[in-house]
Chain A
Amino acid sequence: NAGVTQTPKFQVLKTGQSMTLQCAQDMNHEYMSWYRQDPGMGLRLIHYSVGAGITDQGEVPNGYNVSRSTTEDFPLRLLSAAPSQTSVYFCASSYAGTGAGNTIYFGEGSWLTVV
């Protein structure tokens, strides 16, 4: 009963390094997305995907890349890490459609520090 799984849970990067945050879901959800949570700012959408091969930008996409080669996986890549990307990152997934009963499920989060 895994749901949405994120790895790693904690990571420290040096400025300029690149890395990939992994996200996998086992619920056969069409939609997947990445949010970042910063103090006093709630959760902000970085990128999202409505299905395999389709991605789009959210509110704060700069400095991040995504791809969706399979329904299950939605990795988030930091191209050249900056201290401003120090944050907690959450992956989320849901079924397609905008019906009232459609719930978004979140992973447990990845804590990233850029020094």
Chain B
Amino acid sequence: DQQVKQNSPSLSVQEGRISILNCDYTNSMFDYFLWYKKYPAEGPTFLISISSIKDKNEDGRFTVFLNKSAKHLSLHIVPSQPGDSAVYFCAARANTGTASKLTFGTGTRLQVTL
């Protein structure tokens, strides 16, 4: 039972355009959502997060939107750069859990082309 779903395994975007990565979840106990970026042969690195009490969080070129009624969040990257090419994981934490317990999606591989 996949509680966090990333239905697009891959996405290709031209440099300078917007990248939109989507994530859906089923567990209504999730109260905090994170996006991680992963390059090959490296560990995931934290990118941006959002609390369930917000619907938007922005950090430079990265914005995360949360639609609680639809149980959907998205990561927008504007403008996309070649260095953004990586696998992006959506993760969620339940409000009865601890900081160390995250449920991850399966990842979306983003390729930014020149």
Across the interface, do B102 and A98 meet the contact criterion of CB distance under 8 Å? no
In the complex, number of A-B residue pairs with CB atoms less than 8 Å apart: 74
Across-interface contacts of A107 in B (CB, < 8 A): 43
The distance in angstroms between the C-alpha atoms of A96 and B101, with both chains bound, is 11
B82 located at the interface, meaning its Cβ lies under 8 Å from any Cβ of chain A in the complex: no
B16 located at the interface, meaning its Cβ lies under 8 Å from any Cβ of chain A in the complex: no
**Interface residues as binary, A75-102 with B (CB distance below 8 Å gives 1, 0 otherwise):** 0000000000000001011111111101
Sorted nearest first, the 7 A-B pairs with minimum C-beta distance are A106-B43, A31-B100, A42-B104, A43-B104, A42-B106, A33-B100, A100-B51
Given contacts A90-B44, A98-B93, A108-B41, contact A32 B107 (CB under 8 A): no
The distance in angstroms between the C-alpha atoms of A9 and B6, with both chains bound, is 28
Q: Which residue of A lies closest to B6 (CB)?
A: A42
Residues of B within 8 A of A (CB): 4, 6, 9, 32, 34, 36, 41-46, 49, 51, 89, 91, 93, 95, 97-107
Count of A residues near B, CB < 8 Å? Answer: 33
Across the interface, do A45 and B101 meet the contact criterion of CB distance under 8 Å? yes
Given contacts A42-B4, A42-B89, contact A33 B101 (CB under 8 A): yes
Across the interface, do B99 and A108 meet the contact criterion of CB distance under 8 Å? no
- Closest CB of chain B to A8's CB: distance in Å? 14
- Closest CB of chain B to A107's CB: distance in Å? 5
